[in-house]
Amino acid sequence: MSTNGSRKGRLYVVATPIGNLDDMTQRAVEVLRSCDVIASEDTRRTRKLMARYSIDTPLVSYHEHNEERAAVAFVERMVGGQCVALVSDAGTPLISDPGYRLVRLAAEEGLDVLSVPGPSAATAALSVSGLPPIPFRFEGFLPRKPGARLRRLEGLADVDATLVFYVSPHRAVAVLRDMYDALGDRPAALARELTKVHEEVLRGTLSELADGASARPPRGEIVVVVEGRRKQRG
């Protein structure tokens, strides 16, 4: 997939497994093998994936702390004719992960930006939550500070779409309590370790999930899905 200076390169946005490495698509493997360089949010995790699928493409770190500078460098590579593959630590890049600046700059430069779709923790959790999937609103991670977090949640109280959040395990109880305070005792689901050995989906009201998390703190990567505002709630 390498090109020479007479042709512009391209950017592939490549989804990778969120846990189970068998979820890697054949197309994703082929793209990662054939591109000139892989822009990786977490090179340690990406190297494990590359070892599994015998991928030896050069790997360059691309994360939130170097994103602005690195994006320019990658675009220069593509303008020079190279193919760049963007991967996050897991799942689909840009979904609560770095990549927006790189995609925007590549598009502004007139380069082809192509999606190699695959796993996403947000849609995986939504699909097994038992809550209405359409419409839904992805909110990613909430603010760490309690006051800012509560204000964000209060601003979502009147949204009639199902809400999807990423939650750090050590803040799970506090976040669920804040959701209850801001949104009321709505139906919700807590999905953790999706596609992994200890995968679990807990369903109930926000108060039930908060009590359960308090009694048995959840571990691993967590997605919380909350029902949107119902008309009868006023």
List, in order of start, the domains of the chain with CATH numbers. Answer: 10-116 (3.40.1010.10), 121-233 (3.30.950.10)
Instruction: Tell me the CA end-to-end span of the chain in Å, nearest whole number.
Output: 56
Q: What is the pLDDT of residue 17?
A: 97
Q: What is the pLDDT of residue 91?
A: 96
Q: pLDDT tens for the chain, 234 residues: list them.
A: 444 444 679 999 999 999 999 999 999 999 999 999 999 999 999 999 999 999 999 999 999 889 889 999 999 999 999 999 999 999 999 998 889 999 999 999 999 999 999 999 999 999 999 999 999 999 999 999 999 999 999 999 999 999 999 999 999 999 999 999 999 999 999 999 999 999 999 999 999 999 999 999 999 999 999 999 985 444
Q: What is the pLDDT of residue 126?
A: 98
Strand blocks (E) in the chain: 10-14, 37-40, 59-61, 83-87, 112-116, 136-141, 162-167, 187-192, 200-205, 222-226
* Phi, psi at 145, each rounded to 5°: -75, 130
Which tokens sit at 181?
């305070």
Q: From CA 129, how far away is CA 187, in angstroms rounded?
A: 10
96: left (phi over 0), alpha (psi -120 to 50) or beta: left
Rg from Cα positions in the chain: 20
Angle between helices 172-183 and 206-215 (to 10 degrees): 160
Q: What is the pLDDT of residue 231?
A: 55
Q: What is the pLDDT of residue 62?
A: 94
> Cβ distance 229 to 202 under 8 Å?
no
Q: What is the pLDDT of residue 24?
A: 97
